[in-house]
Amino acid sequence: MNKYLTKHELEQVTQLLESAYSFVKNGPAPQLEESLLQYATKLKNTMANSAVAYRENLNCPTCDFENNHIIATLTVEDDDSYGTSQIIVNGKYSISARVKYGFRSQGNIHILFSCESGHFFIKSYDGHKGIVFIDENSLMDELVEYLNGFNKNNEDAKWSFDYEILGQIESFFKEQVRKQRLL
């Protein structure tokens, strides 16, 4: 299988070439200077002109691992005044919970992933006032923190959805309800 550089890696290589160029600029090696500049410019143009020059994989934000699995989707139903009414997992399991929500939702989807080292993370999309916010959902951030509390080592890593993870998601929301009742 081909190994592609990520966009981030490509940007880093380009930056490195550019700083190398400024280092040798006007120095004793004009040929090196010239070829560095040509190569940096070529890479830069490739990135600017081509959508297929690189592939942007999703890496684990904790350990940068590229092997990740989609575990579940979550959708929040809200009460139209910055609170949740229920959370739907995988489009079919409903968890009733009234907790604070940072959005008056115009549609939302949260995808729960696990890397093969056992770190959970969520990609979050929240429609709100005509804008789609990405990864700005503090409730999902707290859920990730909670779920990661259960996984202490690689053997606990999940590669697919199961009822244990559903139970953990449910217990997180129940705990949130309890906490907010105490406020």
Q: Which is nearer to Zn ion, 115 or 139 (CB)?
A: 115
Contact between 60 and Zn ion by CB under 5 A: the answer reads yes
For residues 89 to 128, the per-residue mask of contacts with Zn ion, x marking binding by CB under 5 A and - elsewhere, is --------------------------x-x-x---------
> How many helices (DSSP H) and strands (DSSP E) are in the chain?
4, 6
Among 4, 39, 54, 65, binds Zn ion (CB under 5 A): 65
| Alpha-carbon gap, residue 37 to 125, rounded angstroms | 40
Question: Using CA atoms in the order 61, 62, 63, 65, what is the torsion angle rounded to 10 degrees?
Answer: -40
Q: Which is nearer to Zn ion, 9 or 34 (CB)?
A: 9
> What is the chain's Cα-based Rg?
22
Q: How many CB atoms lie within 10 A of CB 129?
A: 8
Rounded to a whole number of angstroms, the minimum distance from the CB of residue 65 to Zn ion is: 5
- The residue number whose beta carbon is nearest to Zn ion equals 60
- Whether residue 126 contacts residue 136, with contact meaning beta carbons closer than 8 Å, is answered with yes
Interface residues with Zn ion (CB under 5 A)? 60, 62-63, 65, 115, 117, 119
